[in-house]
Amino acid sequence: MILVVGATGQLGTAVVRRLAAAGQPVRAFVRVGSRHEHLRMPGVELGFGDLRDAASVEAACRGARVVIATANVIVPEGRTSFEAVEGQGYAHLIATCERERIGQFIFVSMPQTAHDAAVPAFRYKRLNEQRLQSSTLPYTVLRPSLFMDDWFAFIGDASVARGAAAATIERRYWFLQVFINAVGGLIRQHGIALLPGSRRVRHAFIALDDVAGFIIGSIGREDMRGAIFEIGGPQVLSWDDVLAIYARLLGKPIRAISMPRRAYRVLRALLAPFSESASGIMGLNWLVACDTPYDANALALRLGLQLTSAEQFLQRGDGASRDTSR
């Protein structure tokens, strides 16, 4: 049995679907009240609970061979806190998995930056990496670069994810909705992209489906236990490169408006007294203005994965052409 914690999120959903399609028994950890109808399919058992509810975590882990953890509160639906979920919740999840002698714990983390301590989304990922490293669990940590599905939307093209199953950009979080409604049409309608930081910052942008591929490929691999992998690609692109691809595909130039890194840093501080999550999203934008030039092509080859380039990702169309059942 493979337990997926974060199953209703976009990455968890992609993982659950692939596992079910491959005939692997999977338990999807689902919060009561969350949208989960799209996870009802043969081979998928729903385990209702919440990372803040210790007993439900214990019940979900019982009998699991592998645990895949993608749950996070960066884009919260309802009131919550990083400390309650990614702090105490993950501490209990990891301790329970140790007690249950889980065969492999696959943790989806975040890139490492020089300022992780200042932004909860990054701080708690580092904390949970350390917890895994000092546990007895056979763990695999994956640190993906930026997901194309989210970041191409954030810079002005929400069509890449709209309508896709469980897309993060469609989560019911007011701050995100305001932001996406304001910028989501900029690239296609107005030929403008709003960049976090310099247009020369380089990332190994990765398609969400390929992140799911790396997760599933890690299952049961001895050579991926007790290790941290930075994943991304197939290419490392600057924002300028991304905009050149858009220009080619749309047949019109795309003008970049770069928000200075320090603007996000200031907004993070200004929003902090009012909303941890809104402040966190500004912090995220501040920190993604650092390069993540990961080369995971050798690992992808080992796992038999064919990674999607940014051009292929954009050519395969908007969310409407993808799996929309949810």
Ligand X SMILES: NC(=O)c1ccc[n+]([C@@H]2O[C@H](COP(=O)([O-])OP(=O)(O)OC[C@H]3O[C@@H](n4cnc5c(N)ncnc54)[C@H](OP(=O)(O)O)[C@@H]3O)[C@@H](O)[C@H]2O)c1
**Choice from 97, 146, 180, 186 touching ligand X (CB under 6 A):** 146
What is the torsional sign of CA 215, 221, 225, 227? negative
Least distance CB 223 / ligand X (angstroms): 22
In the structure, how many helices (H) and strands (E) does the chain have? 13, 11
Of residues 208, 127, 101, the one with CA closest to residue 165: 208
What is the torsional sign of CA 47, 90, 284, 216? negative
Told to check if 77 binds ligand X by CB under 6 A, we report: yes
Judged by beta carbon, residue 18 or residue 191, the one nearer ligand X is 18
Told to check if 113 binds ligand X by CB under 6 A, we report: no
Told to check if 123 binds ligand X by CB under 6 A, we report: no
Q: Kindly indicate which of the ranges 140-148, 188-196, 252-260, 294-302 contains the residues binding ligand X, using the contact rule CB under 6 A.
A: 140-148
Least distance CB 58 / ligand X (angstroms): 14
Told to check if 8 binds ligand X by CB under 6 A, we report: yes
* CB contact burial 160-183 (16+ within 10 A = b; e otherwise): bbbbbbbbbbbbebebbeebbeeb
**Choice from 168, 218, 235, 285 touching ligand X (CB under 6 A):** 168
**Choice from 60, 70, 96, 239 touching ligand X (CB under 6 A):** 70
Q: Of 40-69, which residues contact ligand X (CB under 6 A)?
A: 50-52
**What stretches of 184-260 show up as alpha helix (H) in DSSP?**
208-218, 239-250
Please state, in angstroms and rounded to a whole number, the distance separating the CA atoms of residues 250 and 10.
27
Please state, in angstroms and rounded to a whole number, the distance separating the CA atoms of residues 129 and 135.
10
Judged by beta carbon, residue 51 or residue 289, the one nearer ligand X is 51
**Amino acid identity of 161?**
A
Please state, in angstroms and rounded to a whole number, the distance separating the CA atoms of residues 6 and 74.
12
Told to check if 31 binds ligand X by CB under 6 A, we report: yes
Least distance CB 252 / ligand X (angstroms): 26
Told to check if 73 binds ligand X by CB under 6 A, we report: yes
Least distance CB 129 / ligand X (angstroms): 12
Q: Which residues bind ligand X (CB under 6 A)?
A: 6-12, 31, 34, 50-52, 70-75, 77, 80, 85, 89, 108, 110, 144, 146-147, 150-151, 168, 171
